[in-house]
Every structure is written in C-alpha cells, then in structure tokens.
Amino acid sequence: SDELTQPPSVSVSPGQTARITCSGDALPKEYVYWYQKKAGQAPVMVIYKDTKRPSGIPERLSGSKTGTTVTLTISGVQAEDEADYYCQSADSSGTSPLFGGGTKLTVL
Amino acid sequence: QVQLVQSGPEVKKPGASVKVSCKPSGHTVTNYYINWVRHAPGQGLEWMGVINPSGDFATYGQKFQGRVTMTRDTSTGTVYMEIYSLRSQDTAVYYCARGEADSWGMDVWGQGTTVTVSS
C-alpha cells in the first residue's frame, strides 16, 4: 500500500541515541528523505537519498535502510533536536511524493 | 544564499479562493521544480502538487485535482498556487519547496504562508 508508517512519538534523554523508523512497501526501490520540523518553522531536510547528509547538518544525524524500513538515527541527542521528524519517499508508481505521518521526538 | 520568499498571511471566507506566491532569490527559478506542501493544525505534512521549471506542466495530488492551480511567471521568477472553493479544513500553513527533476527530495523551503478559512 502507498503509506509510510512512523511511530507517533519517541522519547530519549540527552546524550542518548534516538532511532526513528519509517516503513513502506515501496521503500526498497525509492529514495527516502527526512525532514526536521520545529513549531513555527519551515521543514528542514536533514537526510536525502536514504543516507546522505546536506551541508550544515550535524554528523550525529544519520540515515539507513534495510528492506522496507528506513531509520533516522540521532546520536548524542541534544535539547535542540526536539522536533517533529517526517520521512518522505514516492508512491509505488514513483509519480508523486508521499510523507509519513511524522514522529515527535521528545528530549526528556 | 538560496531562499524562497512567500507572500503574507491570508484570511478568507468559505467558498472563496486564495493565491499564494513564492519568489526565489539567489538562484534561477527556471532550473528547478517547485512543490507545494501544506501543514494543517494537528496534522502531518501533505504534498499538494508540483510545477516544472518552464511552467508548462503541473501535476497535483489526487485530493487537490480540480481545486488547485499552480502557475509560474518566468519573467519574474515567481510561482503561484491558487486554491478554489476554500473550506475550513484548508486552514493550514502552505509551503513552497524546491525540487529536482530526478528525485522527489525538497531541499529549500519557503517560510510558509498561513491561510485561515473562517466565516
């Protein structure tokens, strides 16, 4: 089905590692992008084409893919990482983009 | 520095139309696709459609077909997104975002335009 499934929320303490997953049937053949969205601000791309990091994004953010699941990993979580994170890929026909439902990362 | 600058907030009544603009600075608009994505209160990001670099082709999400039109003025570099027959569920922040021909990633985003639909 043309859906990207994310957990609604993830909570971690500062300094720990946060892992946010995104699952979808089309993911093995489509690139995945991750966006960080803070309240009142525009989304920011933090990972593109599954694993690549745009200029200016900290190295502690990384992306990986295994089959139908991709994972955004944030190592050494900081308070500033608290945000909503969205995965994005394409539908099964590859003709339009699709967003996951978003995951709220809470830094305890 | 590449930026997308959007028009200001709008308040509309149900049934009206709204036209939001997106003007790039720091790069040539004709080189890039422009997507529109909205974020309604309490909801996730929702892709609405995309217009190609020359402005002669746009494709829309199924939910928005027939109710949204995207255009671009190649002389000024400004891209427009118009929504017709507004309803309260269209209350959202609307973003334009730059894309490329070979991928669906969106690497530069406008600051967002709040559209409020209320009687």
Amino acid B31: pLDDT: 74
Q: Does B48 reach chain A within 8 Å, measured CB to CB?
A: no
Q: Does B114 reach chain A within 8 Å, measured CB to CB?
A: no
**Total H helices, total E strands in chain B:** 0, 11
Amino acid A1: pLDDT: 63
Identify whether the C-beta of residue A87 lies closer than 8 Å to the C-beta of residue A72.
yes
Range B85-103 burial, b when 16+ CB lie within 10 A, else e: ebeeebbbbbbbbbbeeeb
Q: Which of A88, A95, A103 to mutate to test the interface with B (most CBs of B within 10 A)?
A: A88
Q: How confident is the model at residue B82 (pLDDT cuts 50, 70, 90)?
A: very high
For chain A, the average pLDDT equals: 95
Tell me the two tokens of residue A71: 């994972």
Cα separation of A72 and B39, whole Å? 21
In tens, the pLDDT along A35-82 reads 999 999 999 999 999 999 999 999 999 999 999 999 999 999 999 999
Three-state DSSP class for residue A17: coil
Q: Is the pLDDT of residue B29 over 60?
A: no
Q: Does B97 reach chain A within 8 Å, measured CB to CB?
A: yes
